[in-house]
Chain A
Amino acid sequence: MTRDKISSAETSDPELNDPKKNDAVLTLENVGVTYKSGLPIFRQRSVHEALKDISFELNHGDSLGIIGRNGVGKSTLLRILNGIIKPDKGKIINHGYNTALLSLTVGYDNNVSGRNNAILSGMLMGKTKEEMIASMPDIIEFSELEEFIDHPVKNYSTGMKQRLGFAVATQVKTDVLLIDEILAVGDARFKKKSEAVMRKKILSGDTVVLVSHNAKTITSLCNKAVWIENGVVREQGDPDKVIKVYEEYITK
């Protein structure tokens, strides 16, 4: 359904007519990840198989929704897609694109001001220092932090940190955006604002991977969905179809 929305807009938006559309961006083949806790070799304690066998392909212009209950390895999957960790089994092929994982409060330094943290975190996500300094007024306005921006982050409430994280995330430009359930943060009003921004970003034809356990988010924003349960792909393809089987499964 979303796909129709996008294709109807195609004539007006030049970005969507790009020749790369539908080219493979990321390919996962039988990916498996096993976490081992404890010191390696001598003091191995427990072994946890977060992902067992995951295969799917992300194409240019896709917005792919990943759905599954808590603790089925969705965050691990995003880390794999971003290249933060490498799979133990199978392989991931990145066809030459940059990816950015958007999560809130990425490694904030508590003793440092919100402003400096925002600049640093933007720089680590691929912006230059000058670009970040130039976009600071937007970030301050969007996050509604006002004079708090120059206070150390340790004085922030959780909501303030999330708002700042979200404001920085909206500045990041990349080939593939990986989003970890941050569509809406903060209080009701901010939630509405942040949701609108993310929605715009996703529907503008950017390549996006969105992780959520909210079925409605996925059906309204994605043109493809993957349902993960017990570390394997249970169903993939059209979001409405995937969500239907997923909901049948969890209400059972």
Chain B
Amino acid sequence: MFLVEKRYRDVIYYKAQVHLRSEASKTYLSFLWWAFEPIISMAIYYVVFGLIFQRGTEDFIPFLLIGLVTWQWFANTVSHCCNSINNNLALISQLNFPKIILPSINVVMDTFKFLIVFLLLIIFLWAYGFAPTIAYLALPLVLLTQHLFNVSIANTVAAIVPFVPDMQIIISNLLRIAMYLSGILYSIEQLPEQYHIYFAFNPMVMIIDAYRDILMHQQWPQFQQLGIFALVSFIGVVLSTLLMKKMDPIYARVLMQK
């Protein structure tokens, strides 16, 4: 976001705001759906994995909710950014502007919706018996790290999909698989020791663990690990932004030629 000129940043925020408002105006319950929708999906996972399959660990509800809410932030951002360039042919073929704006709008919208749900989650956890502790001070760092990670993946996906339309299908399936491999529905500790190594390479496992450390276990996250990951994600954001800048004049043609 900071790599984009001020006037285009204004466009991003204004467009995100306008879209959120128009989305809300389309239904009777308007913005309440931003909270209801995730609640419904969480309820489904809870019934299936917590009650029917009895996969629950100790404190399964908070465990599941923290994983789901933060995973959805990532998954929604990435899947919405898949089409952010493809969906804007009319704009791209008639105006010359940095295309990085387009995925950024989706990022802002999804982040805004996430923050609402996240706030509800904190309130729920408090009611459930996990009151805020001093460890909450580390929360902004974890949120920022995940945000950088989201943006780097979202930009990359947005940059590639117009060239390789098949990627969109691949990505939506990869996201589905990745969800089951990110320790959201079960604790990785429950798995045999020899598999743990594979999960160590999954960035979302680390992020979700950091959230659980803070929100459930009332302890500081692993700062060193988090710091390295934040740095890598930041480099990812810079590189993906440069990638998009480099390919900027190609998109109009790619879309017009389809």
Contact = CB atoms under 8 A, between A and B. Distances in A.
- Report whether chain A binds chain B: yes
Interface of A: 35-40, 79, 82-86, 99, 101, 103, 106-109, 111-112, 116, 119-120, 123-126, 128-129, 152
B195 to A, nearest CB: 38
Interface centre among B11, B22, B91, B257 (most CB of A within 10 A): B257
Given A86-B249, A123-B10, A79 B18 contact: no
Given A79-B93, A84-B95, A101-B96, A112 B22 contact: yes
Interface in B221-258: 249-250, 252-253, 256-258
A129 B14 contact: yes
Contacts of A125: 95
B199 interface: no
B124 interface: no
Contacts of B7: 123, 126, 128
Given A106-B90, A112-B22, A124 B253 contact: no
Given A85-B252, A129-B14, 14 more contacts: A35-B257, A36-B257, A37-B258, A38-B257, A39-B165, A84-B95, A86-B250, A103-B94, A106-B94, A108-B90, A111-B26, A119-B14, A124-B97, A128-B7
Nearest to B15: A120
Interface string B80-107: 0000000010111111110000000000
A157 to B, nearest CB: 18
A169 B2 CA distance: 29
Given A107-B91, A107-B95, A124-B97, A84 B249 contact: yes
Contacts of B90: 106-108
A84 B257 contact: no
B136 to A, nearest CB: 35
A82 B252 CA distance: 12
B163 interface: yes
A32 B186 CA distance: 59
Contact of B95 (A85, A101, A129, A152): A101
A120 B88 CA distance: 14
Contacts of A103: 94
Contact of A123 (B14, B88, B257, B258): B14
Given A35-B257, A107-B90, A112 B19 contact: yes
A84 B252 contact: yes
A84 B10 contact: no
Interface of B: 7, 10-11, 14-15, 18-19, 22, 26, 88, 90-97, 163, 165, 249-250, 252-253, 256-258
Which 7 pairs from chain A and chain B are nearest by CB? A107-B91, A107-B90, A111-B22, A86-B249, A116-B18, A84-B252, A83-B96
Contacts of A107: 88, 90-92, 94-95
Interface centre among B14, B88, B250 (most CB of A within 10 A): B14
B94 A101 contact: yes
Contacts of B250: 86
Contacts of A109: 18-19, 22
Contacts of B165: 39
A106 B94 CA distance: 6
A112 B16 CA distance: 12
29 contacts: A35-B253, A37-B258, A38-B257, A39-B165, A79-B93, A83-B96, A84-B92, A84-B93, A84-B94, A85-B249, A101-B96, A106-B91, A107-B90, A107-B91, A107-B94, A109-B18, A111-B22, A111-B26, A116-B18, A119-B14, A120-B14, A120-B18, A123-B10, A123-B11, A124-B91, A124-B95, A126-B7, A128-B7, A129-B10
Nearest to B88: A107
Nearest to A126: B7
A40 B250 CA distance: 13
Interface centre among A37, A38, A84, A109 (most CB of B within 10 A): A84
A111 B20 CA distance: 11
Contacts of B252: 79, 84-85
Contacts of A39: 165
